Amino acid sequence: MASRNNKFSIFLIAFILFSVYCFVFSESGILERMKLQKEIAYIQLQIIQKQSEIKKFRELTEHGNPDNILLRESINAGYIPQGAKVFEFQDKQKEPPQFQPSQQSGTDKFTQYIQYGRILWLIFSVLIITGMLLYYRNRNQ
C-alpha cells in the first residue's frame, strides 16, 4: 500500500511541476504573454509617432508650395540641385563615425530571462523528482 501512495505522490508532484512549467514558462505562458504585451505597447507607440509625422507633413504640404518644400527636403537629405555650388572643407574627418550598437532592449533581456527560467525550472523539477525517487527507494529497502 505504501508503494502505491509513493507512486501517486511522485506522479502528483511531477504533474504540479509540469503544470507550473506549462502555465508560466511555455510559449503560451504568462511570461511570454507579458513580453508580447510589452512589444504591442512599443509598436502602438511607434504607430502613434508615425501618424503624427504624417499629419505634420500633410499640414506642411497643404499650407505651403509643395515644390519648394520638396526641394528643401531633398537638400536636407543631401541631394544637390542642378547648378548649385559645392564647397569641400579640408578639415573633415577621414573616417566616418563608428556605429555603436545600442544596448539590448527590455524585451530581449526579458526573453533571455524567460529562457534561463525555463532551464532552471527543468533542472529544479528533475532534481525534485530524482530526490523523491531516491528517498522512496531507500525508504523501502
Task: Give residue-wise pLDDT tens across range 97-133.
Answer: 565 555 555 667 777 788 888 889 899 999 999 998 8
- pTM: predicted TM-score of the whole model, two decimal places: 0.52
For the segment 26-42, what is each residue's pLDDT rounded down to a tens digit? Answer: 888 888 888 889 889 99
Alpha helices in the chain (DSSP H): 2-20, 30-63, 66-77, 106-140
Contacts of 75 (CB under 8 A, 6+ apart): 81
**Lowest-pLDDT range, 21-30, 64-73, 111-120?**
64-73
Q: State the cell numbers at 63.
A: 499650407
Residue 102 is predicted with a pLDDT of 54
> Closest by alpha carbon to 129, among 43, 7, 2?
7
99 is written with which cell numbers?
556605429
Q: What mean pLDDT comes out for the span 32-60?
A: 89
